[in-house]
Structure 1
């Protein structure tokens, strides 16, 4: 039902196979830095109006690909769709970020939680299929979800947080309740990602955006263990094709070795990690994704290109001395800022493709 892939460079890099250049895409590549996105969002009336409308979600997912020769598309959605489907009432206030009408902080609220009926997320799966068809084989489509821990942070805090006081208080005072939340979240995320794969996603990514706020020990117990539970449940092949899984923990460089053993095909890195040392540490276990500081994109285009080259040189030539390949997908170390000049992104993409080809020459 879908067109064959023209550019499979991203998928090949995920699986540590030879590629003619280093593939790249950007976290939040369909977003507020693009004037055409802002125009579409204005038509939609709200963020959720945009995300829940299949035609709008398809339109904004493809917008960055019309500007830049990126090597992958990522579904336009939000990491908090799963707890919204649990009945927590997600909304977005302009300039305030996500908010939940119901918060989960006590036994009664936890007792009401359950893996949601995936039919409540049909708008997401319909968007995946629509986007995949609209891509017409141009590049692969990535589906995604927030990690169990990251979802729990928002569910307990009721929104974003500067200190994670509520979620950490619950974690330390009632670990039994926290584990119950995380068990439900993990099973829900796995079902959600599997449904995206069934709808047409060719790779999936777990965003552990807030794993890095945890102490050593707590990260392994309350974040990584449940990311591993998600990965273990995912279907890894569809229609004879391998479905790569990417895990990204912002602030997770300290635990790189443990994350690399969670079962994913690719580990995403933020900008605090040296790519060359990370490559040496993980060996041939996983491919790596990252890891330019998003704020580099505020520098002049020539400086952006120089920094991109430095990232590529840090990883080095992807072919090893033994003839094998180590996969690298170029990305930012976190999401692109809404204030990024679009022409600076064009300079970045050009430099990554050009220089990565010279590394293979």
Structure 2
């Protein structure tokens, strides 16, 4: 159905298989820092029109791959597609980010919500298939979803928040209501991600953007529990190919052991977690993704190359590392600068891998 994959470096690293050099992609690699993206968005009319038209979604997904030697593409969409499909009416307010026409604040609101299926988001599935064909086997395609906790924060807070007072009030005063919402979201995410796999996604990432605002016990109960539920129900092999899953909790470095125990293939690290320490703690069980500070891209070529080397050296020899930013690329980054980072990863990364694909990995017990 799809062209044969030519560059599987990213998928191999996620499965801790030998690679020739460290693979790299960037969260939010298709975005407002690129002039061609801004032109496409202007033509489409608005952000949601980009997401809901498979040709536009394919166009902007491929834009960074035409500029940079990336090892993976990521579906161009938004984490809030599921709440939108539940009937909350997603829209974007200029300068304020995402908003909903209907917010969730009561048990009755939760009870009224449907559990979505992949057919409720068929425009996303169509985009996945269109992008796979558009990639023509050049690199793998990553599908994604927000975590149930992260989706719930937006639904209850009605957008971004500084103090998360509404969802935390529900968590402490009406935990059963919040658990009911998270369960519906987990079931919806399972259907959504499995639909993306069937449509052509070759790896998945779960974005737990707001998991790090929780205390340890609350993270276990209200975020990690539901991500584990999702991982237990995903298609992990499709048409003879393993579908690796990356779990990314921003500011979640203190919970790496618990995250690794979910069955994820890789953990995303933000820049506040030391990658050497992370590898020592969980690196025999999972691959690691990350974790340079996105603000490094505001610096010049020499600084970027130095900071790339620091991250590569921190991980050390052997496979199981996918280089990435510690969070999404910033809007005001000079579009020439990501090339410095990507080229440095590929050039400097070679010395951390055996020319014979695996000798150093064997020496390091991987």
Q: Give the TM-score normalised by structure 2.
A: 0.96
Alignment match, 1:231 = 231
Aligned to 1:264: 264
1:92 alignment partner, SS class: strand
Residue in 2 that maps onto 1:219: 219
How much has 1:132 moved relative to structure 2?
0.1
Residue of 338, 344, 354 corresponding to 1:351 = 344
Partner Cα separation in structure 2 for residue 231 and residue 101 of structure 1? 31
- In structure 1, the residue matched to 2:353 is 360
The residue number in structure 2 matching 1:154 is: 154
SS of structure 2 residue aligned to 1:335: coil
Q: Residues 73-84 of structure 1: matches in 2 within 5 Å?
A: 73-84=73-84
Deviation for aligned residue 1:277: 1.0
- What's the offset of the Cα at 1:256? 0.7
| CA deviation after TM superposition for structure 1 residue 293, in Å | 0.4
After TM superposition, give the deviation of residue 94 of structure 1 in Å: 2.2
Please say if 1:200 is aligned against 2:193: no
1:267-326 Cα offsets, whole Å, 9 max, x none, are 0000011111111101321000000000011011110111011000000011xxxxxxx4
Q: Which residue is 1:50 aligned to?
A: 50
Alignment check: 8 A CA contact 2:118 2:125 kept:
no
Give 2:358's aligned residue: none
CA distance in 2, matches of 1:57, 1:142: 13
Partner residue in 1 for 2:164: 164
- Residue 176 of structure 1 corresponds to which residue in structure 2? 176
Aligned residue for 1:145, secondary structure, equals strand
**Residue 6, structure 1, aligned to residue 6, structure 2:** yes
- In structure 2, what is the equivalent of residue 209 of structure 1? 209
Structure 1 residue 76, shift from structure 2 partner: 0.1
Look up the match of 1:327: 320
**How many Å apart are 1:118 and its aligned residue?**
2.6
Q: 1: CA distance between counterparts of 2:297 and 2:158?
A: 31
Mapped to 2, the partners of 1:284 and 1:163 lie a distance apart of 36
Partner of 1:25 in structure 2? 25
1: CA distance, partners of 2:182 / 2:120? 20
TM-aligned CA deviation for residue 159 of structure 1: 0.6
> What SS does the corresponding residue of 1:246 show, helix, strand or coil?
strand
Question: What residue in structure 2 maps to residue 85 of structure 1?
Answer: 85
Q: Which runs of 4+ in 1 moved over 3 A?
A: none
How many residue pairs get matched? 354
Q: Residue 360 of structure 1: CA displacement?
A: 2.2
* TM-score, normalised relative to structure 1: 0.97
Shift of 1:216: 1.3
**Could you tell me how far apart the structure 1 residues matched to 2:267 and 2:11 are?**
14
Aligned residue number for residue 275 of structure 2: 275
Match of 1:62 in 2: 62
Q: CA RMSD in A?
A: 0.8
Determine the C-alpha separation between the residues in 2 that align with 1:190 and 1:314. 34
Whether 2:332 is the aligned partner of 1:339: answer yes
How far apart are residue 116 of structure 1 and its match?
1.5
Deviation of the 1:107 alpha carbon: 1.3
For structure 2, the residue ranges without an aligned partner over 5 or more in a row are: 355-366
Measure, in 2, the Cα distance between the counterparts of 1:345 and 1:77.
Answer: 21
For residue 359 of structure 1, report the CA deviation from its aligned partner.
2.0
Question: Could you say which residue in structure 2 is the equivalent of 1:190?
Answer: 190
Q: CA deviation at 1:95?
A: 1.8
Partner of 1:36: 36
**Cα distance in 1 between the residues matched to 2:353 and 2:23:** 13
For residues 234 and 106 of structure 1, the distance between their equivalents in structure 2, rounded to whole angstroms, comes to 30
Partner Cα separation in structure 1 for residue 220 and residue 170 of structure 2: 17
Task: Name the structure 1 match of 2:137.
Answer: 137
Cα offset for 1:117? 3.8
Unaligned runs of 5+ in 1: 319-325
